[in-house]
C-alpha cells in the first residue's frame, strides 16, 4: 500500500539547473521527517541507507542498473523488491520506491551524504577540523573538545590534521568559521599545553643526547 502522506513530501518540482546536492537535501529531509512521523529511529534509518550504499559500492553493476536512464522504472522497482524489500523496513522501502519513481536512484549516494549531515545537525553533532603543527595527543584532544562544546553549542565530531606550517600552533575550523588559538581566548590554555609539551620534548631529547654523549669514552 502506498504511503501518500509520505509521497507528498517529495512533490517539489526541480528545475534542470538545480544542483544534485540541493535535490539530495530535499530527499534527505523528507526521508528523516517520514521516519520521525512514524516514530522510527533516525539513527537506524541512516544506517539502513548506509547499508544500501555499501552494497552499491561492492556491486557496481547493480548500481549501474539503478542509475541507468535506459532501464524502465518498473524494472528497477521489481529488482529492488526482489533484492532489498525482504529485509527493508516499511519506511525505507517506501522511500526507495519514491526515489525510483522520480528517477533519482542515480543520486542515492548524495542523498545518503545529506541524510548523514542532517542527522548530525539535528543531533547537534558538529564536524570540526583541528589542524595542528604537531600531532595532538589524546589528553589535549579531550581538553580541546571540552572547550569546543561550549563554543559551538554542540558535540564536536573531530578530524585531526597535522600541518607543520600552521600559524599559532593550532587552527580549528567549524564550517566556514576558523578559530585560531593565537587569538581565541578559550583555546589559549590548550595552546600553552602544546607549547609546553613541545618544550618538554625538546628538553627530553637534549637530556637523552647529553646522557648518550657522556657514555662515550673520553
The CATH number covering residue 199 comes to 3.40.30
Same domain, 110 and 128: no
pLDDT for 56 beyond 70: yes
Q: Give the pLDDT score at 200.
A: 67
pLDDT digits (tens, 9 = 90+) for 136-158: 888 888 888 888 888 888 888 88
- Taking the complete model, does pTM exceed 0.85, yes or no? no
pLDDT digits (tens, 9 = 90+) for 40-55: 899 999 999 999 999 9
Same domain, 37 and 95: yes
| Average confidence (pLDDT) over 76-94 | 95
Same domain, 98 and 47: yes
Same domain, 155 and 65: no
**Within its chain, how far is the Cα of 128 from the centroid?**
10
The last residue of one of the domains, among 101, 121, 141, is 121
Let me know: does 191 contact 199? Beta carbons within 8 Å: no
Same domain, 58 and 92: yes
Looking at every residue in the chain, the average pLDDT score rounds to 80
pLDDT digits (tens, 9 = 90+) for 11-37: 433 343 458 889 999 999 999 999 999
Same domain, 90 and 136: no
Same domain, 102 and 25: yes
Confidence bin at 82 (pLDDT 50/70/90):
very high
Same domain, 27 and 43: yes
Lowest mean pLDDT among 106-110, 162-166, 207-211, 213-217: 213-217
| Average confidence (pLDDT) over 53-72 | 94
Range of the domain at 208: 124-214
- What total number of domains does the chain contain? 2
Same domain, 86 and 183: no
Q: Give the pLDDT score at 194.
A: 66
pLDDT for 196 beyond 60: yes
Q: Give the pLDDT score at 10.
A: 42
Same domain, 167 and 99: no
Same domain, 116 and 131: no
User: 204-207 long-range CB contacts below 8 Å, 24 or more apart?
Assistant: none
Residue linked to cell 542515492: 108
CATH code at position 23? 1.10.520.20
Alpha carbons 185 and 213: distance in angstroms, whole number? 42
The last residue of one of the domains, among 121, 136, 157, is 121
Q: Is the dihedral of CA 207, 212, 217, 218 positive or negative?
A: negative
Residue 69: DSSP 8-state: S
Q: Give the pLDDT score at 19.
A: 85
The last residue of one of the domains, among 93, 121, 149, is 121
Same domain, 68 and 111: yes
Amino acid at each position: 500500500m502506498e504511503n501518500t502522506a509520505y509521497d507528498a513530501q517529495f512533490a517539489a518540482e526541480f528545475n534542470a539547473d538545480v544542483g544534485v546536492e540541493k535535490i539530495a537535501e530535499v530527499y534527505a529531509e523528507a526521508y528523516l521527517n517520514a521516519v520521525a512521523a512514524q516514530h522510527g529511529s533516525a539513527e537506524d534509518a541512516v544506517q539502513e541507507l548506509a547499508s544500501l550504499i555499501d552494497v552499491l559500492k561492492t556491486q557496481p553493476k547493480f548500481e549501474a542498473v539503478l542509475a541507468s536512464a535506459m532501464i524502465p522504472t518498473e524494472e528497477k522497482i521489481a529488482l529492488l523488491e526482489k533484492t532489498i524489500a525482504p529485509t527493508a523496513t516499511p519506511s525505507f522501502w517506501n522511500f526507495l520506491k519514491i526515489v525510483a519513481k522520480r528517477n533519482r536512484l542515480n543520486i542515492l549516494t548524495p542523498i545518503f551524504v545529506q541524510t548523514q549531515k542532517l542527522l548530525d545537525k539535528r543531533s547537534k553533532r558538529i564536524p570540526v577540523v583541528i589542524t595542528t603543527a604537531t600531532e595532538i595527543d589524546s589528553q589535549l584532544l579531550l581538553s580541546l573538545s571540552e572547550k569546543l562544546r561550549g563554543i559551538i553549542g554542540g558535540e564536536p565530531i573531530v578530524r585531526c590534521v597535522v600541518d607543520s606550517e600552521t600559524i599559532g600552533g593550532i587552527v580549528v575550523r567549524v564550517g566556514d568559521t576558523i578559530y585560531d588559538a593565537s587569538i581565541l581566548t578559550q583555546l589559549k590554555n590548550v595552546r600553552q599545553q602544546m607549547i609546553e609539551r613541545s618544550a618538554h620534548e625538546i628538553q627530553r631529547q637534549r637530556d637523552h643526547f647529553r646522557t648518550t654523549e657522556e657514555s662515550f669514552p673520553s
